[in-house]
Amino acid sequence: MNNPWEDIKLDDYEKHMSLDSVKQLQTMNMIMKSQFEDYPVDSVIVFGIAGGNGLEHADRNKYRTVYGVDINEEYLRAVELRYADLADVLRCMKLDLINESDRLPRAGLIIANLLIEYIGYEVFKNAVVKVDPDYVSCVIQINTDTKQWVSDSPYLHSFDRLDEVHHQMEENELDAAMNEIGYSKIMSRKEPLPNGKALLRLDYSKES
């Protein structure tokens, strides 16, 4: 059976994420500006790039290469169209992190926002080891309602199959997973959302 993310329309995803009652697209865009700016690297790989929200903050004067990874080919086509101005640095890759992490390139920074929930800690660790970045910056969702981790919206049923691949995230468990592969936490920052949920940014650096 295919991955549920291959069947979710980008339009449904982005409209859901940008609703005033959800506001994750807007909050994520703000977070990504900082993620792209904060570290002295010239290459970055974005896991689960979707439609490219936040890519406008990737400074072409700073970045030699920006890799965009996703399992959904429709999403990657949209990214290439929307960010044609980054064509000389942007490299989109259709890739299933669960089964194809050996195809990942090296990069100085990994950005993984609302992604680890759908692949789990072990797969994420394998991907990080393969990329071997100096820094990892990720965002996980903090849920106050454990029964419904997808926010209510007119687009809710587009996400019905995500229960098949969803893993509940915990900060201390992610810290432990990253410590196992030689990364230490250097930042923890929570951004509240309008529906009682929150986005938690967790950054790690490679131990010397």
pLDDT of residue 144: 61
What does the alpha-carbon distance between residue 130 and residue 37 come to, in Å, rounded to a whole number? 23
pLDDT averaged per 10 residues in sequence order, the chain, 208 residues:
74 73 83 97 97 95 97 95 96 95 97 93 97 97 60 47 65 97 97 86 95
Question: What was the pLDDT predicted at 25?
Answer: 83
- The predicted structure's pLDDT at residue 206: 98
Copy the structure tokens of residue 119. 């692949």
| Residue 160 confidence (pLDDT) | 52
Delimit the domains of the chain by residue range. 4-206
For 73-104, letters b (16+ CB in 10 Å) and e give eebbebbeeebeebeebbebebbbbbeebeeb
Q: What are phi and psi of 115, to 5 degrees?
A: -120, -40
pLDDT confidence of residue 157: 44
Question: 4-206 in CATH: which number?
Answer: 3.40.50.150
Enumerate the β-bridge partners of residue 185.
Answer: 204
pTM of the predicted model as reported, rounded to 2 decimal places: 0.89
